[in-house]
Amino acid sequence: MPSIADRMRSHIADLEPYTPIVPLDVLAERLDLPIERLVKLDANENPYGPSPRALAALAREPYYAIYPDPDHTRLRAALSAYIGQPAARIICGSGADEIIDLLLRLFVEPNDVVIDCPPTFGMYAFDTSVCAGQALAVPRRADFTLDIDGIERAAMESQAKAIFLASPNNPTGNPAPPAEIEQLLNLRVGPQALPVLIVVDEAYIEFTADNSADRQQSPGVSYWVGAYDNLVVLRTFSKWAGLAGLRVGYGLMPEAIAVQLWKIKQPYNVNLAAQVAAIASLEDLDYLRGNVARIVAERERLLVALQELPFLLPYPSATNFILCRVTQGDALTVKQQLEQQGILVRYYRTPLLRDYIRISVGAPEHNDRLLTALQAVAEGAPVKGQ
């Protein structure tokens, strides 16, 4: 008998259900630990939270009963000054995630190919599938660098519409060399020599290079936007500015792409609280950069300490997290042993990452608790092959 399911778009009905993260209070109850005892190092959140100026601006804002500015005028002006790109090239979203979705909705027709380079951020392939596109994976090399020749070949064979590169990459922590990005920007596919949309996701760029106030140029490739008609750069307030829960990110793109996204975005996509907090964050850069510097210093301390553990191989990182290969024993078991002690790290149930855990850099006391717990795992853990 036909059912209502037969009227649904089949590519969506056939999608795997999304595995949501477990909220902290539910997890605390499950582990029978008070919520303050949990050390959350599983989602690359900022342990220092939002800037006090952002919190004060949120408390002061008088107009929560009024719809927010659909053009994000003040936020885009502040971002323009922060990034050094005209406001006409900036589109804000409810997180960078929304910009990924909008871009794919603009570019992808059914069965169009979108390339990503796993292990990488899952939203590129996820949103491609939702748009009825085909996600084509060109895996990274063993050292997690990009297989540029492989990407070019795959893009030409499939006449790919878009290539997504996270730089620095999540979860591997390494940046993409600008020369390789440039090579892909110049790639042309098919008999008509068509350009490919290149999306460089710089969610973690504030944790790379130095962030000192006197630097002339923002790190990454944002200053190339506009010079190429096919380059989009994504940024977010979720990680460096501690606003993950408010959902605010943005894309930098040529005007010709921006005008189309303006047509399809929901008018009130970025809520008022998010806009207020993001603007105030950009007025408190010294404070936020201080926290970024603390996280970067902790990252380097953590890297050295993790290297000393016999069962972990940590990878250097330009972000606020460290990917570790579990070289003895089982990565999922390590994750679960840490969880029993109230420490949450990220484990991926995927073939490429089954031997890895990803640890977000916390405040010093969090990282100390992590290291103590890992020491205990080292002393008690069953070792593979013995």
Ligand X SMILES: *Cc1c(COP(=O)(O)O)cnc(C)c1O
Query: Judged by CB under 6 A, how many residues of this single chain contact ligand X?
Result: 13
HEC string of the chain? CCCHHHHCCHHHHCCCCCCCCCCHHHHHHHHCCCHHHCEEECCCCCCCCCCHHHHHHHHHCCCCCCCCCCCCHHHHHHHHHHHCCCHHHEEEECCHHHHHHHHHHHHCCCCCEEEECCCCCCHHHHHHHHCCCEEEECCCCCCCCCCHHHHHHHHHHHCCCEEEEECCCCCCCCCCCHHHHHHHHCCEECCCCEECEEEEECCCHHHCCCCCCCCCCCCCCHHHECCECCEEEEEECCCCCCCHHHCCEEEECCHHHHHHHHHHCCCCCCCHHHHHHHHHHHCCHHHHHHHHHHHHHHHHHHHHHHHCCCCEEECCCCCCEEEEEECCCCHHHHHHHHHHCCEEEEECCCHHHCCEEEEECCCHHHHHHHHHHHHHHHHHCCCCCC
CB-wise, 97 or 284, nearer to ligand X? 97
Q: Which of 39, 54, 78, 97 binds ligand X (CB under 6 A)?
A: 97
Q: Which of 47, 95, 314, 329 binds ligand X (CB under 6 A)?
A: 95
| 249 forms part of the interface with ligand X (CB under 6 A) | yes
Residues 45, 201, 284, 298: which binds ligand X (CB under 6 A)?
201
Q: Does the protein bind ligand X through residue 224 (CB under 6 A)?
A: no
Least distance in Å: CB of 254 to ligand X?
Answer: 20
If the CB atoms of residues 78 and 166 are measured against ligand X, the closer one turns out to be 166
Please state the closest distance from residue 331 (CB atom) to ligand X, in A: 20
Q: Which of 135, 166, 270, 334 binds ligand X (CB under 6 A)?
A: 166
Is 174 a residue that touches ligand X (CB under 6 A)? Answer: no
Pair 304, 325: CB distance under 8 Å: no
Query: Residues 226 to 245: which contact ligand X by CB under 6 A?
Result: 236, 238, 244
Per-residue binding letters, 263-302, with ligand X (x by CB under 6 A)? ----------------------------------------
Task: Find the shortest distance in angstroms from Cβ 13 to ligand X.
Answer: 26
Residue whose CB is less far from ligand X, 251 or 314: 251
Q: Judged by CB under 6 A, which stretch of 19-27, 59-67, 92-100, 342-350 contacts ligand X?
A: 92-100
| Binding flags for ligand X, 37-56, as an x/- string (CB under 6 A) | -------x------------
96 touches ligand X by CB under 6 A: yes
Q: Which C-beta is closer to ligand X: that of 203 or that of 252?
A: 203
Residue 199 interacting with ligand X (CB under 6 A):
no
CB of 321 to ligand X, least distance (A): 9
* Of residues 42 and 97, the one with the C-beta less far from ligand X: 97
d(C-alpha 76, C-alpha 51), whole Å: 19
Q: Footprint of ligand X on this chain (CB under 6 A)?
A: 44, 95-97, 121, 166, 170, 201, 203, 236, 238, 244, 249
